[in-house]
Amino acid sequence: MPRLKSHSTTILTVRHRGKVAIGGDGQVTLGTAIMKADAMKIRRLAGDRVIVGFAGGTADAFALLERFETKLKDFPGNVPRAATELAKEWRTDRALRRLEALLAVVDARYSLLLTGNGDVVQPTDGILGIGSGGNYALVAARALVAHTDMSAADIVRRALELAADIDIYTNRNIVVEELSCET
């Protein structure tokens, strides 16, 4: 029997007007079936100072979230260092290398993408999209930032709604979290 592939989701981060927002949809798809419509793919960590969104395999993402939370405790207040240490471990550890997920991480100062290839990427414009609808949400967010007066949270919500109209692995059960940015 062929292995059913779990399809991704859409996670989007936007830094705009002194706020950073991160949001994601709630759809979990296995093969061609929607298994769950209201999954929570956004988590607050480190006393609510860090917010993480994940795309990919849910169990894999939870394993990575636990390890990232440990790294945040090892390097308090230093999200880039915690992210770099997790990415190094993820890339070099035999068991972790098999995990199929992406993490989008935000705090008051940083927006970061973490991958199993050892990547820790900070987008220049503070806008980051991951998952199957990530590129759709990303381009919508960039247009909304440039051409509207919307807040970061409203841009995230609207861009995710637009991605849901295009990407069959993204739904409109959207959760958005927001933090104030450092100035």
Catalytic residue, candidates 9, 10, 13, 170: 9
Position with higher pLDDT, 32 vs 173: 173
With 0-12 / 13-18 / 19 or more C-beta atoms within 10 angstroms meaning exposed / middle / buried, residue 63 is middle
9 is catalytic: yes
Give me the residue spans of the domains in the chain.
6-180
Q: What is the dihedral of CA 113, 114, 118, 120, to 10 degrees?
A: 40
| DSSP code for 107 | -
pLDDT band at 4 (very low <50, low <70, confident <90, very high): very low
Quote the CA–CA distance of 77 and 154 in Å, as a whole number: 27
Q: Is the dihedral of CA 170, 174, 180, 183 positive or negative?
A: positive
pLDDT (tens digit, 9 = 90+) per residue, 120-151? 999 999 999 999 999 999 999 999 999 999 99
CATH topology (fold) of 6-180: Glutamine Phosphoribosylpyrophosphate, subunit 1, domain 1 (3.60.20)
Q: DSSP 3-state helix, strand, coil percentages of the chain (rounded to 5)?
A: 35, 30, 35
